[in-house]
């Protein structure tokens, strides 16, 4: 499961707080990227639906929708990692918790897959504009 470290040493407590702080910073960076890309992907679909001048191709809409799905998964996993690092970080070594490690890796994986889908969506839009 996970290891609870109960140490009276001030240096060990300071090290645990620094580990938790670095984990919070990395998870917060991923959440910032999601906070930027999620509204952009949703806005692209909404603008194409509202204007009659240019309609997005169906495969681009599917790519933007799937990117939003992967971004939501990244958001949820990043919020859990941030919560665990903030609440449990000063008292235990959160880097050794399996749930935090798995979800921290999942946050990065979900973000990469969403970026891949956004790239294909933008590629489909530019291809349809050139044809």
User: Would you give per-residue pLDDT tens digits along the chain (131 residues)?
Assistant: 555 555 556 566 666 677 777 777 888 888 888 888 888 888 877 777 766 666 778 888 889 889 999 999 999 998 988 888 888 777 777 777 888 889 889 999 999 999 999 999 889 888 888 87
Q: Which residues of 9-19 are buried (b: 16+ CB within 10 A; e: fewer)?
A: eeeeeeebeeb
**pLDDT tens column, 85-95:** 888 777 777 77
Spell out the domain ranges in the chain.
10-126
| Predicted TM-score (pTM) of this structure | 0.78
Separation of alpha carbons 69 and 121, rounded Å: 14
Residues 8, 11, 14, 19, CA torsion sign: negative
């Amino acid at each position: 499961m996970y290891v609870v470290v109960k140490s009276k040493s001030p240096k060990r407590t300071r090290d645990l707080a620094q580990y938790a702080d670095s984990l919070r910073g990395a998870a917060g960076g991923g959440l910032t990227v999601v906070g930027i890309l999620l509204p952009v992907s949703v806005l692209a679909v909404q603008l194409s639906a509202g204007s009659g001048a240019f309609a997005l191709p169906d495969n681009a809409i599917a790519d933007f929708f799937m990117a939003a799905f992967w971004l939501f998964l990244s958001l949820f996993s990043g919020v859990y990692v941030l919560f665990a690092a903030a609440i449990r970080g000063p008292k235990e070594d959160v880097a050794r918790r399996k749930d935090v490690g798995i979800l921290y890796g999942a946050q990065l994986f979900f973000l990469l897959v969403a970026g891949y889908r956004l790239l294909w969506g933008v590629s489909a839009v530019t291809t349809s504009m050139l044809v």
